[in-house]
Amino acid sequence: MDVKTMQELLKNTDPRRVKFNRRFRRSISYYLNENDITLRNNGESKLNEKGKDEPLRKADNRVSHNFHQLLVDQEASYLATIPPDIDVEDDNLNNKISDALGDEFSLRLNQLVVDAANAGVGWVHYWLDEDGQFRYGVVPPDQVTPIYSNDLNRKLLAVRRTYSQLDPDTSKSFSVHEYWTDKDVTVFKSQKPNYTDLAAFDNRFVIEDVSTQTETGTSNRYVHNLRRVPFVPFVKNKYETPDLKKYKGLVDVYDNVYNGFVNDIDDVQEVILVLTNYSGTKLEEFMKQLKETKAIPLESNGNGDRSGVDKLTIDIPVEARNTLLESTKADIFTYGEGIDPADFKNDSNASGTAIKMLYSTLELKAGTTESYFTDSLNMLIRAIMNWMGVSDADSRSINQTWHRNQVQNDLEKAQAVSQVAQYSSEEAIAKANPIVDDWQQELQDRQDDIVKRDGYNNPDALNSLNGGEDD
């Protein structure tokens, strides 16, 4: 792609990119507890008892509540703490895929859930390193602008990736624009927002003579030979909308009511005395007399005189505000499809059924995310198998088993296991045991215990653990 064509593409995709990034930054602000209530304080929660120049309304406290991060992290922890099991019906290939996904697979999956919740979609970029090894990483959503086909397949045709980079020679930042297709990537750079200075990033890639293994120059284009656009979208839902959109208004209502409550508590200490027919002329004398004699001299005008002292104070509708805060908080967790931690505090000994009911809305949200992430993860796994040279990589069946990380009643579960133990296999019991993390190791430990206790004088006990076969 030449410079002129790239300029047109950047200009044509800018409106969509700007709209997307504005929405993403708003979600990130709420994720970092920088709600709209704190805009006047540059995103910082502050108490300010004397923030306004009004006689009775001086307090201007602005404290935000981090409901958004709680709801997002709940789903990420619930869905991605334990990575899904991948099975392509070949144990050797399963191990190789697990190695390619790496030890940080769970952390990256967790980040994708957070990105998808904040942006509506998370992105994974994969590539081959200098040694030809498969590598992948999570790309910030605000860097990626996808270009899809208009047919029902909605195929990913190309990706524009834009990000800032620091020039070590000038100590100035510039924008890098990458254009990825299923064949190559072309890189450009600019500093001006209208792209009039757009130029090829010529020293981005080193050209090497394969026969002599020597460098012959540099280029702004690289042929990746991956046969696909090496980006995988992990979408949140059908419309790729962020979670914040569902409950932002409720969070703002909670912030406003709560801070109004705090302001009133501060302002209620402000009492204004209204003096009628005060005999003095200076407020300093009034304050001195009030402090020393606890009395105020007043002048009387005869019958019907209204001389005296009145107070201007603030009434606080405590019950109404408490009710509004409680109902708003309940709505936030309802529409955010999360769990209020207070529900567990109120019933610490909840039964397994009660706990499942607490998790019902979170399970609905996580189940939807899982269904979309399953397709995306399949795309990444097929890319890994293509790199490995698996002949049926694009058609091979892939089974994913996702797990949930949730609070459970271990005592109740253990009692259920004990009741069916005599009718279940050793493997089933080990898998269901709430105090066992590795069921395979548990079976091995049980066999070792029998050997230590009975030696080899009890072959029947050993045979029961070995599937009935003679040892």
Instruction: List all residues 6 or more positions away from 234 whose beta carbon is below 8 Å from its beta carbon.
Output: 112, 115, 116, 121, 122, 123, 124, 372, 373, 376, 377
Q: What confidence score (pLDDT) does residue 298 get?
A: 60
Calculate the alpha carbon distances from 252 to 45, 63, 261, 321 in Å: 14, 11, 14, 15
Report pLDDT digits (tens) over 387-405. 999 999 999 999 999 988 8
Q: 196 lies in a domain?
A: no
Spatial separation of the C-alpha atoms in residues 337 and 363, rounded to whole Å: 8
Please state the rounded mean pLDDT for residues 223-240: 95
Four-residue CA torsion sign, 27, 28, 32, 37: negative
Name the most confidently modeled range: 108-122, 193-207, 307-321, 447-461. 108-122
pTM of the model: 0.80
pLDDT at 89 over 70: yes
Token pair in block for residue 401:
């088993």
Would 130 be classed as within a structural domain? no
Q: Region 319-348: what's the mean pLDDT?
A: 88
Mean pLDDT, range 278-307, rounded to an integer: 62
Chosen domain end from 312, 337, 366: 312
User: Mean pLDDT, the chain, as a whole number?
Assistant: 85
Q: Note the pLDDT of residue 69.
A: 98
* Residue in the block written with tokens 């109404």: 320
The yes-or-no verdict on residue 451 having pLDDT over 80 is no
Does residue 289 register a pLDDT over 90?
no
Segment 47-76 mean pLDDT: 85
Number of structural domains (the chain) is 2
- Return the higher-pLDDT residue of 126 and 262: 126
| pLDDT of 10 strictly over 60 | yes
Given 250, 285, 312, which residue is the final one in a domain? 312
Write down which residue in 312, 327, 362 finishes a domain: 312
Percent of the chain scoring above 70 in pLDDT: 76
- Is 81 within the bounds of a domain? no
- Across 245-277, b (16+ Cβ under 10 Å) vs e yields ebbbebbbbbbebbbebbbbebbeebeeeeeee
Please answer whether residues 86 and 381 qualify as being in contact, where contact means their C-beta atoms are separated by less than 8 angstroms. Answer: yes
Whether 133 is in a domain gets the answer no
Please report the sign of the dihedral spanned by the C-alpha atoms of residue 47, residue 52, residue 58, residue 64. negative
**Residue 38, domain member (yes or no):** no
Q: Has residue 42 been placed in a domain? A: no
Residue 286 has pLDDT above 80, yes or no: no
Tell me, yes or no, whether 302 lies in a domain.
yes
In degrees, to the nearest 5, what angle opens at C-alpha 205 toward C-alphas 199 and 206?
130
pLDDT of 386 strictly over 90: yes
Domain hosting residue 285, numbered range: 272-312
Contacts of 351 (CB under 8 A, 6+ apart): 409, 412
**16 lies in some domain:** no
CA distance 319 to 327: 12
- State the pLDDT at residue 346: 57
> Residues 78-106: what's their mean pLDDT?
94
Predicted pLDDT at 371: 96
pLDDT recorded at residue 103: 92
